Amino acid sequence: MRRLFLLFMATSMLFCCSSCRESQAVIANEQTAEIYFVDADMLRLLPFSVRLTDHSAQKNAQRVVGELIKGKDDNPKIMRLIPNVKNVMTVKVKNDTAYVNLTKKFVDEHPDGKDKEILTVYSIVNSLTSVNGITKVKFTIDGKEQERFKGYIDMRETFTPDYTV
């Protein structure tokens, strides 16, 4: 009986240690990205962390775009500038650049104003560049390079993060 008990205890300890190592491996493989939302006063961007478990920059970028579209409607400190409409914004990652396509509907429904335009663009840029493997963002509107978003920002540029926004 005592041997059976010791065998049971040894097996339990091995199983527990194995499970702990697997859990630690999963945690070690997770990444954290910062999703930047516009504050309610529309003065700056507020970062919120999200855990990413995929190793693909493409899938992580899609997750980040999904979080930006979903927004934080339950948080009174956040203002929505990105419409919560499916496929209003898509992303493809090539090398270290995220190529973001905005629909004309996105642009048309976006409120006017230089500050709102800057906050929206850098909400997207800062969020996507927080994903491992992405350092730059390039925009198109309905699949075409455009000179302006709503009238202020030159959308032909390749954007890098700006955390002062």
Domain contains 73: yes
Domain of residue 37: give its range: 32-159
Which is it for the CA torsion 125, 126, 130, 133, positive or negative? positive
Mean pLDDT, residues 92-97: 97
Lowest mean pLDDT of 14-23, 56-65, 113-122, name the range. Answer: 14-23
Q: Does 153 map to a domain? A: yes
Average pLDDT in the 91-102 region?
97
Q: List pLDDT tens digits, range 125-148.
A: 999 999 999 999 999 999 999 999
Strand blocks (E) in the chain: 31-39, 45-52, 78-79, 89-94, 97-102, 136-141, 158-159
pLDDT given at position 34: 97
Answer yes or no: is 26 within a domain: no
pLDDT digits (tens, 9 = 90+) for 1-43: 555 444 444 444 444 444 444 434 344 567 899 999 999 999 9
36: domain CATH number? Answer: 3.30.70.2210
* 46 and 77 Cβ atoms separated by less than 8 Å: yes
